[in-house]
Amino acid sequence: MSLNKKQCEEIEGILKTSLRKKFQSYNPEPASMPFHTRLLGSDRLALYSFIHSLSTNFGTAIFEPVAIAIAKNKYKIAKAHTEVGDYIHEKSLFEIQKIIDSLTTATSMPNKVEEIKAIRKVCQDGIKRNVKLTLADIYIEDYDGNIYLFDLKTAKPNAGGFREFKRTLLEWVAAALAFNPGANVSTMIAIPYNPYEPQPYNRWTMRGMLDLNNELKVGSEFWDFLGGEGTYHDLLDCFERVGIEMRDEIDEYFDRYNKTKN
């Protein structure tokens, strides 16, 4: 077992707290759907609406705090919503644009190792440019000083956004190196689960823009990176235990909608 008892208790506490907060704050949209209601029932409609609403903030309300609870047991530093830096040197910005242009036109294939080398060469050259970067959803630093920055995405991110995802990852590198040119920094997209299981994750939409070996971790790759081999399956067990423990509480919450007249 990769997750110890204390971690499991913390994770399960996060899940219970998040669900109960959602129960307290959630109000289904008042839109009238008479045909759907009579066909499916108001309780099923309420459940569908609740799941959809919960899914929209699953990342910040559940996945991020759970990731930190797991990673802090293995790494020196693990924190969420972290500023990477507030300036990048001008020549780094030029280099980033050159990389993006080259990938967009398929002049080159993504190679994160070489891209970081290119940015590192110019990371303190040119005028400092103040920037407002996307916060790193998850910041991890190991005991050797290696830094890992994750941008947490939904299970099926919009394929049209991969160019901007790539830019974010490169800008994080440039900002970290502007502050410390010797830093060993890795920047990645994390996707919490594979919606295509048991089939492999459909990565072809990212190929050509992301270095799939060095810029993407999906499902067990991500969770096992944070906590060690087997973490993903232990985590699923935590979710299942909470679901079983709260089943009556969940049923009671949705039963009120079954009694609502439309």
Dist. CA 256–CA 234, nearest whole Å: 33
pLDDT confidence of residue 132: 95
Whether residue 109 sits in one domain with residue 160? yes
CA 188 to chain centroid? 10
Give yes or no: residues 176 and 106 share one domain: yes
**The token pair that represents 210 in the structure block:** 């992301």
**pLDDT score, position 95:** 97
* pLDDT at residue 261, rounded to an integer: 46
State the CATH number of the domain containing residue 215. 3.40.1560
Q: pLDDT by residue (tens digit) across 216-249? A: 999 999 999 999 999 999 999 999 999 999 999 8
Same domain, residue pair 135 and 206: yes
Distance CA 2, CA 89 (A): 41
> Which residue, 84, 48, 82, 52, is CA-closest to 67?
82
Residues 241 and 122 in one domain: no
- Shared-domain flag, residues 70 and 80: no
Mean pLDDT of 106-133: 96
Residues 104 and 163: beta-carbon distance below 8 Å: yes
Residues 124 and 221 occupy one common structural domain:
yes
Same domain as 222, residue 139: yes
Residue where the block lists tokens 């996945």: 63
CA-to-CA distance for 121 and 53, rounded, in angstroms? 45
Same domain, 6 and 98: no
Report the relative pairing of strands 136-141 and 77-82 from DSSP bridges. antiparallel
Dihedral over alpha carbons 108, 105, 161, 180 (to 10 degrees): 50
This prediction's pTM: 0.89
Same domain, 91 and 198: yes
Domain membership of residue 55 as a residue range: 1-74+228-262
50-64: average pLDDT: 82
Question: Do 140 and 147 form a contact (C-beta atoms < 8 A)?
Answer: yes
Task: Render pLDDT for 15-51 as a digit per residue (tens, 0 to 9).
Answer: 999 989 888 877 666 566 777 777 777 777 777 777 7
Nearest to 175 by CA among 100, 236, 124: 124
| 143 and 183 fall within a common domain | yes
Same domain, 108 and 143: yes
The rounded distance, in Å, linking the Cα atoms of 119 and 180 is 12
Q: How many domains does the chain have?
A: 2
Q: What is the dihedral of CA 81, 84, 87, 89, to 10 degrees?
A: -150
In the chain, the amino acid numbered 217 is: K
User: Same domain for 163 and 82?
Assistant: yes
